[in-house]
Amino acid sequence: MPWFPDFTNAVELARRETRAAGLADPAMQYLSALNAGDARVLETVWPGEVVVYDPRAGVIRGHRQLHQFIRTNHSWFAARHTEIETVASTCHGRRSVLEFVAHLRGNDGPDVDWPVAVVCESPDDLSVVFRTYCSQVPVDGRHHFRPAILAPTDVRPPEIVGRYLAAMDAGDAGAIVATFAPGGYYRSPIGPHAGHRGAADLLAYFTEQVGGGVGRQRCSVTDDGLTCAVEHNIVRWGHKQLRPQAGLGVYERGAGGLLAAVRDYDDVEPSAPR
């Protein structure tokens, strides 16, 4: 009898290795599936329930819808010659956050740098939820209402992040700037070009933007000791009450525990342009 390799065991070993890699870095597996246009790796890692909250496609549930979403998103990326640049990742427990910039290189339109963040949360070893946060202004020039995804909770962020959020709620530009380390920067959701660095620039920006304050409901905190990501619902801008709109803020601590960077991901239309 000729000898044949044990293909069954080899396939099972490959499946286990794929699952281990996916569970170790779930958000990157999701991004890889979007880039490749192939949902099979996600099905291998999470054979149970898969749910995606996407600002453009809405809510995707189950493997059948996932296949269609992945293929459609891949075609959309490919048509724009998209290149992905990873910015940062944060992980704690069963939740991880991946930030990246999608560099869109359209044939007919201008080049666009689009900041996006994906939160991955696994309620168990077989199931997963992906929540994507971004502004669509870089893509089509418009704000799109994004309903709340998560319910508010009493979760508490680290002290410096709490101070920043309290100052934002109060609309106190000076107190906001005081939470930043020297050289710290803020980046708005509409792109890397919309950044502000240093005390003078930050003070001018926040004085113009947050008069009357920005009210947020806190929903979840993912903190690895250096970077903290807070999922929230924005419910007020200035004196205008808003329907709760989903968003994410990422806060990096720097020198002396102050904020080295703040990056926002939401599609709320403020009272003045960002």
pLDDT number for residue 107: 63
pLDDT number for residue 106: 72
- Of 121, 90, 116, 122, the closest CA to residue 104 belongs to 116
Per cent of the chain over pLDDT 70 is: 89
Cα(16)–Cα(271) distance, integer angstroms: 51
72-104 confidence digits (pLDDT tens): 999 999 999 999 999 999 999 899 999 999 999
Q: Which one is predicted more confidently, 74 or 1? A: 74
Mean pLDDT computed over 232-259: 95
Cα(38)–Cα(189) distance, integer angstroms: 28
Cα(36)–Cα(109) distance, integer angstroms: 24
pLDDT number for residue 10: 46
- CA-to-CA dists, residue 166 to 31, 66, 92, 106, 163, angstroms: 33, 38, 24, 40, 5
- 67 neighbors 39 (Cβ within 8 angstroms): yes
15-68 confidence digits (pLDDT tens): 455 555 556 678 888 988 998 899 988 888 889 999 999 999 999 999 999 999
Residue 274 has pLDDT above 50, yes or no: no
pLDDT number for residue 17: 52
- Residues contacting residue 183 through CB under 8 Å, at least 6 positions apart: 197, 198, 260
pLDDT number for residue 186: 97
Q: Which one is predicted more confidently, 135 or 107? A: 135
Cα(138)–Cα(18) distance, integer angstroms: 34
169-188 confidence digits (pLDDT tens): 999 999 999 999 999 999 99
Strands across the sheet containing 240-253: 195-197, 180-187, 259-266, 240-253, 227-237, 214-223
Mean pLDDT computed over 218-246: 96
DSSP result, the chain: ------HHHHHHHHHHHHHHHHHHSHHHHHHHHHHHT--HHHHHH--S-EEEEETTTEEEEHHHHHHHHHHHHHHHHHHTT-EEEEEEEEEETTEEEEEEEEEE--SSS--EEEEEEEEEE-SSSS-EEEEEEE-SHHHHS-----B--S--------HHHHHHHHHHHHT-HHHHHHTEEEEEEEE-TT-TTSEEESHHHHHHHHHHH-TT-EEEEEEEEEE-SSEEEEEEEEEEETTEEEEEEEEEEEEEE-GGG-EEEEEEEE----SS--
- 214 neighbors 271 (Cβ within 8 angstroms): no
Residue 133 has pLDDT above 60, yes or no: yes
pLDDT number for residue 12: 43
The domains of the chain, with CATH numbers, are: 7-134 (3.10.450.50), 159-266 (3.10.450.50)
- CA-to-CA dists, residue 130 to 66, 172, 212, angstroms: 11, 34, 33
- pTM (two decimals): 0.89
